[in-house]
Amino acid sequence: MLRRAIHRRPELGFQAFETARLAADTMRSLGARVRTGVGVTGVIADLGAGEAGRPCIAIRADMDALPVQELNSVAYCSTVPGVMHACGHDAHVAMALGAAKLLAEEELPGRVRFLFQPSEERPDEEGISGAVHMIRAGALDGVDLVIAQHIGSETETGWVRIVSGPMSASEETFWITIRGEGCHGAYPHTGRDPIFVSAQVIGAIYGIVSRQINPMQSAVISIGLIQSGTQVNVIPSEVHLAGTIRSFDEEVRQALHAELRRAAEVARVLGGDYGLKIDLD
């Protein structure tokens, strides 16, 4: 029921006020020492003994939803237009609070810190995520180990998957601006069409994993945003692309960076220009 209540009221980014309040109130009811407003809307809650020398384990849950319209017809469907818990963070919060209720019944030999993090899905205007904000505010001070989890539809209900080594890939966001020269659609030869150029850049990007990365290693590049133009008969001057790169290995990660820059260079070969930014979140 707790997960469904959170699902009904999804919140974006750092605006997770209701979810943070629910987490804080629940933790206080269990006798936890609670700090709110950590990293904007984050919550830190400590259960158990806090004496020096005692171990401290943190359990982390992200709270934010996605800007997606829910199309389900379930009774607990999102009540916020255009916003949905499509990535399972409602379940993550409920799981952390459920763990807290069980642990509150025990005499703990150390301390368990619960971290409720806002803005996992997207950073602020300066490219800083909720995790970084919370860490800067001291969320990991004195913490010996962090436990986190992520639900997945591919895992059968009632099962937990654990592996040796990385379980989830690192994720980075990239932005590419393709610059050309705008002109009328009837006279494309008088300008430099950035849409045509961006199509070639996209093709080069999607060839990176299949042709430049060892097939025995994992990597994914996905473009999720393409923006350009305002009129159907006008060739614009810029195209904006954005996407993500994921990998499990630092060597592969660096190779993806280098190959992404090489792919963007296609713009210059075709008479345009580009700007590339890669952010580690």
Domains 2-147 and 170-280 fall in the same CATH topology: no
Model confidence at 279: pLDDT above 80:
no
Strands (E) across the chain are located at 33-38, 42-48, 56-62, 111-117, 145-147, 170-179, 183-184, 219-227, 234-235, 238-247, 273-280
| Residue 165 vs residues 125, 148, 169, 243, 251: alpha-carbon distances, Å | 33, 14, 11, 26, 16
Which residue shows structure tokens 């003994």?
49
- CB burial of residue 94 (10 Å; 0-12, 13-18, 19+): buried
Which residue shows structure tokens 């607990």?
76
Amino acid identity, position 162: I
Give tens-digit pLDDT for 76-100.
999 999 999 999 999 999 999 999 9
Q: Helix 89-103 to helix 17-29 angle, to the nearest 10 degrees?
A: 10
> Within the chain, where are the H helices?
2-8, 17-29, 89-103, 130-136, 194-206, 208-212, 250-264, 266-269
Contacts of 21 (CB under 8 A, 6+ apart): 36
Which residue shows structure tokens 């379980």?
167
Give tens-digit pLDDT for 216-248.
999 999 999 999 999 999 999 999 999 999 999
Least confident span in 84-88, 108-112, 141-145, 270-274: 270-274
Give the chain's length.
281
Long-range residue pairs from 98-101, CB within 8 A, at least 24 positions apart, any chain: 98/2, 99/59, 100/26, 100/27, 100/30, 100/32, 100/45, 100/47, 100/59, 101/30
Q: What is the predicted pLDDT for the residue at 281?
A: 47
- The domain made up of 170-280 is a member of CATH 3.30.1540.10: no
Fold of 2-147: Aminopeptidase (3.40.630)
3-state secondary structure of 277: strand
How is the chain split into domains, by residue range? 2-147, 170-280
- Average pLDDT (35-39) is 96
pTM here is 0.80
- Average pLDDT (196-218) is 95
